[in-house]
Structure 1
Amino acid sequence: MTRSHIEFILSSEVEQHIWHIDGIENDACARTLSHNPQNGAATELVSFPSGWSVPMGSFSADIEIFVLDGQLQIGPYRLKQHSYAYIPAGVCCGPWKAQGLTNALWMPSASSLFTATTEHSHPIHLNCYIPSIDTSALPWSGTITPGFPPGAMRKVLRTDPDTGASTWLLGVLPQWRDNRVEIHPVVEEAYLVMGEMNTPLGTMTPGSYFWRPAHIPHGPFATSTGTLIFFRTDGPLRTDYIWPD
């Protein structure tokens, strides 16, 4: 995931444009939060208007979706607020329809072509297909970082069996604080869904987004309200700490 370092932006301030995917004619709009010019991988905030629809078909790249509000129907699966889906390249799904105005994070692994079809072009990818996760019904588990301050928990949405790349939600209680600086050996990407998080660069509020290359020091962090954050990494997460002077 080679993209420019973004630390951090408010998504509502990113210019909106007509969303475009080859093979789909639609009137959805998008804000591109980050983009890899080499292969077209991106993280987009897409606004699907009420009634937006696409027939059954497949994409030429892997797609991750996280619904922020509204509802996206994909065949028999209903992705309501804070639902997640992972659709591998070549896996046929749909038809698609937005039930009311729906905003979602749309994360293709590369430039994507949509093909209307009723057949899987890569059936072997079906074992990785995650059609829908209602994250509100997913149980919380402990964080995986040794020494991470109490008051935070994690909901794992997906882990790639080959690369260790991971997607998860982090929930943090009010009055949580970590005075240390963190460093990770992997790319870290995040979108703040609810609450606030205080950082040395300012306060992240709902809609705040960052894309951070590996080995970039960051922190300390604190929240008075608590927060819910959507995270992705491109490999197994490990955290090294630096104590402030």
Structure 2
Amino acid sequence: MRPHVELIQEDDYVWHGAELVNGEGRASERRLSVDEEDGSSSLRIDFHTDWGRGPGIHHADTEYYVVDGSMTYGGRTIGKGGYVYAPKGVPTDAITFAEGTRILHYREYGDAGFDPVDSLAHPRWDGAREDVIVIDSEAMRWDAVPNPGPMPGLFIKYLHVDPVTGFYTRLVHSQEGWADHRLAHHPCYEEAYTLQGHMEYNFGTLDIGTYFFRPARIKHGHFTTMEGGTTWLLRSDGELQNWYTQNEWLRWGGEAVNYGPEGGRMRWSQSTHDLGSGPTSRSEKDIADLTAAWQYQRDQGEPDEKYVQHGQGRDKSVIAILKALDAARLQGGHGDDDGHSHDHDHDHGDGHGHDHEHGHDALDWGADPASLEHADERTDEGAHNWAHGRPWKQGDPIPAPVLSTLPVRSRSRGRWDGDGM
């Protein structure tokens, strides 16, 4: 499994000698994300000399993308934007990189192994499928993304799509002013490296050289795109479905034994609202763009909630808990003849306590918690990993998002205020 990485700036990371087996030349790599169970890796590599290796077979589904410089594959030279996909177990031609070239390098479902072969006529591994793809992405046109969110403004170049699993790699561009005021989660993982531009979102600032790896079902959003737009190389291990959350909240607590203001036992609780309180990191333009996003949605006739900046206004966790108590109280047969209204905003100043017995086993949160899980998430091969991605098709139940309270962040990204936790 890969950890949740969000958000890092690659310049914060150390260099390692590049693990490019059976090649000639010198290169270094930054390890953006690594799966220590199967060898899958997302890397940023710099070539300090000309580098190359002959025909061979990769032990993993392997991708090369030229950020700057040039790459030659099978005698064809491609500059910035050059892309090669080499499937696991399939013979590939000779590849070289010019001194000074900078690339993104991905290995999926395997390690860095590379077996030299005499020619492309060498037999494939049993079960190997797909063919090598070579693309000059700079020569491709941008296509509008279907269903991009609450407003148009996202564009895409597809580099590779696995016809069986739906795994795909693409370049995505968000034009200046594009925004999405909601939080989304997906049935698959999503990772991206920022190639150009600047965007703000719930985890911080996406600018050149930033990277995230987000496991399945982790919430993310509240996007605003700054001047000049933003471009990423983005990958997912399945078809990316968008499931949205609004009015999100999280609260935790316990009973202290030997800590606190007086060093003794005490009840305590915190919420994401508490973490986000204080001066906001959002600019006036951010708020204006997020407002335009929900207004656009309403103008299309879609029901929607206004955007309220994280940590501002009333604590949604308190409102949700009081609503759950009220709903449970009604179901418990108390009736509604005490003059206590249930259609107000739950600013309880009427002296009506909520710590009495309700005569029920659980609060009413609106849905059975079991119905919000994937049917197999406690029993299948991914049960050890709450955010393990699982195939999903239209008509299947939609699982709720999962929590990620401590993603990997690098030092220049600063403190995360819990927005979207």
Task: Compute the TM-score of the two structures, normalised by the length of structure 2.
Answer: 0.55
Q: Cα deviation per residue 1:56-96 (whole Å; 9 max; x = unaligned)?
A: 32222220111111101122222311121101123333322
Aligned to 2:118: 118
Whether 2:129 is the aligned partner of 1:135: answer no
CA contact (8 A) 1:67 1:102 kept: yes
Alignment of 1:62-73 (within 5 A): 62-73=61-72
Aligned to 1:9: 8
Aligned to 1:192: 194
Alignment of 1:34-183 (within 5 A): 34-109=33-108, 110-119=110-119, 120-122=122-124, 125=128, 127-130=130-133, 132-145=134-147, 147-183=149-185
Structure 1 residues 96 and 87: CA distance shift in structure 2, 3 A: same
Percent identity between the two aligned chains? 32
CA contact (8 A) 1:92 1:118 kept: no
CA contact (8 A) 1:67 1:105 kept: yes
Aligned to 2:232: 229
Q: Secondary structure at the match of 2:66?
A: strand
User: Residue 15 of structure 1: CA displacement?
Assistant: 1.0
Q: 230-239 or 42-51: which moved more?
A: 42-51
Whether 2:241 is the aligned partner of 1:241: answer no
Distance (whole Å) between structure 2 residues aligned to residue 191 and residue 114 of structure 1 = 25
Q: Which runs of 5+ in 2 are unaligned?
A: 248-307, 309-421
User: Residue 117 of structure 1: CA displacement?
Assistant: 1.6
Q: Secondary structure at the match of 2:138?
A: helix
Distance (whole Å) between structure 1 residues aligned to residue 150 and residue 157 of structure 2 = 15
Distance (whole Å) between structure 1 residues aligned to residue 44 and residue 153 of structure 2 = 29
Question: What is the CA RMSD across the aligned residues, in angstroms?
Answer: 1.9
Q: Cα deviation per residue 1:133-190 (whole Å; 9 max; x = unaligned)?
A: 1112112222133645211111111111111111111111112211111111110011
Q: 177-186 or 87-96: which moved more?
A: 87-96
Q: Which runs of 5+ in 1 are unaligned?
A: none
User: Residue 112 of structure 1: CA displacement?
Assistant: 2.6
* Moved beyond 4 Å, runs of 4+: 123-127
User: Residue 52 of structure 1: CA displacement?
Assistant: 1.5
Distance (whole Å) between structure 1 residues aligned to residue 169 and residue 78 of structure 2 = 17
CA contact (8 A) 1:145 1:239 kept: no
Q: 120-129 or 152-161: which moved more?
A: 120-129
User: Residue 116 of structure 1: CA displacement?
Assistant: 2.1
Alignment of 1:11-26 (within 5 A): 11-26=10-25
CA contact (8 A) 2:25 2:49 kept: no
User: Residue 240 of structure 1: CA displacement?
Assistant: 1.1
Distance (whole Å) between structure 2 residues aligned to residue 238 and residue 49 of structure 1 = 40
Structure 1 residues 25 and 76: CA distance shift in structure 2, 3 A: closer
User: Residue 223 of structure 1: CA displacement?
Assistant: 1.3
Distance (whole Å) between structure 2 residues aligned to residue 72 and residue 155 of structure 1 = 20
Q: 99-108 or 231-240: which moved more?
A: 99-108
Q: 3-12 or 18-27: which moved more?
A: 18-27
CA contact (8 A) 2:182 2:245 kept: yes
Distance (whole Å) between structure 1 residues aligned to residue 150 and residue 216 of structure 2 = 19
Higher helix share: 2
CA contact (8 A) 2:61 2:87 kept: yes
The number of residues matched between the two structures is: 243
User: Residue 49 of structure 1: CA displacement?
Assistant: 2.3
Aligned to 1:204: 206
Higher relative contact order, structure no. (Cα contacts within 8 Å, ≥ 6 residues apart):
1
Letter in 1 for 2:240: L
User: Residue 127 of structure 1: CA displacement?
Assistant: 4.2
Higher strand share: 1
Distance (whole Å) between structure 2 residues aligned to residue 235 and residue 228 of structure 1 = 21
Letter in 2 for 1:67: V
User: Residue 118 of structure 1: CA displacement?
Assistant: 2.5
Letter in 1 for 2:117: T
Distance (whole Å) between structure 1 residues aligned to residue 113 and residue 148 of structure 2 = 41
Letter in 1 for 2:231: L
